[in-house]
Amino acid sequence: MGQAEHAWRHGFSRRQAIAGLGSFLAASPLLHAQRDPWPLGAHRRFMGFDEIRDVFDFEPLFRANVPLSIYDYSAHGTESEFTLYRNRDAFDWVQLVGGGGVAPADVDTSTELFGRAMPSPIMLAPTSRQRDLHPDGELGMHRAATTTSTTMIVSNASSFPFTRIAEEAEGPLWYQRYATRELDPNRAALDEGQEAGAQTIVVTIDQQATLYERDLHVRHLGGAPRQVRRRTPPNPPNPYRVGAGRLWYEWKLFDDLKPLCQVPMLAKGILTGEGAKMCLAHGVDGIIVSNHGGRSLDYGPSTLEVLQEIVEAVGGRVPVIIDSGFRRGTDVLKALALGANAVCLGRASRWGLGAFGEPGAQKVIEMINAELRQAMASVGAATLADINRTMVKTNFP
């Protein structure tokens, strides 16, 4: 066999060459054709606690510490995960305008919500089943929040009862509720939460029907992940494998819940100015702009994109809080400049808890607060009142 025949026999076929070109194009960071949910980081080893320099350093440690099914549950978004990625992309579409002239040590991040003083506008979003991340779960997260004087919103799908979490530390707690159609379970849950010291009630309305495609393609421990089984009940059966437990939500829900709340009631999951106005019409005391971290409706907007529209619709009548995708102090500053009163951390605090337990969660909060102070100094804002729309330039598509 000659040299040409040998090269032909052992070389690439046309199909292999085309497939290789397709893989090359799909993986190109310039085309964004395909995104690796777990890209190879700059490190070939895991970092120690004192080596961590930003919140992103916690994620690989969190992933290494927990079962893959738990990591996937925290990491994934709805369906194609378009909105999950858009939440992070949106921060690239907002530029900070430097002003300078303020030393970071002179920056004051204190604020007030519902008549209560807060040393920072950074809060902890409600996230479920934190004991899957670390044995201390919400107990450790609440201790970390108390140490940093951070307000924590407790999910009603938490690993521990709200009363147990409230007993663990002295810090402020808010209570999040997935409402039921029957009023009595809501009454019992809200009474218990308020008796235990909940300072507000947060009613989540954005996660009505959810499908996590990434979970459908993985098989942990010889079967479908626990989360897939739990989230696909036959009630009623439908071709989309989503439960219908919250598809009944309507604005009247707030009319029914308002008399049960002796503390402020907030709506979590608002993404339009029209929705914000409806909240006000039904007696809501505050709004959380949220797409559930990309885990609600796919192909929806990022929260940062719609924030200004909602702030304008509210017109200062109630506080506007935002979550979904926040990882840096500069992210927080951008939201504040667009009109938010406070910002909630979700996955970031979970990474810290899963990586190092309570100290990790505490360090995440401290790092983002330190980054916020540095960012405020860089744009010339000594207080939150100094932050305004002129400090950012937006280029939303």
Catalytic residues: 292
HSE (side-chain half, CA atoms, 13 Å) at 298: 13
| Helix segments in the chain, DSSP class H | 3-10, 14-26, 58-65, 68-75, 82-92, 137-147, 162-168, 183-195, 213-216, 226-230, 252-257, 273-281, 303-314, 329-337, 347-356, 358-379
Written as one string, the DSSP assignment of 285-342 is -EEEE--GGGTSSTT---HHHHHHHHHHHHTTSS-EEE-SS--SHHHHHHHHHTT-SE
Q: Are strands 173-177 and 392-394 parallel, antiparallel or unpaired?
A: unpaired
Report whether 294 contacts 83 (CB < 8 A). yes
d(CA 307, CA 276): 11
**What is the token pair recorded at 343?**
């910002």
Spell 295-326 as b/e; 16+ CB within 10 A means b: bbbbebbbbbbbbbbbbebbeeebbbbbbbbb
d(CA 306, CA 242): 27
Q: Please choose, from the candidates 282, 341, 272, the residue with its C-alpha nearest in 3D space to the C-alpha of residue 313.
A: 272
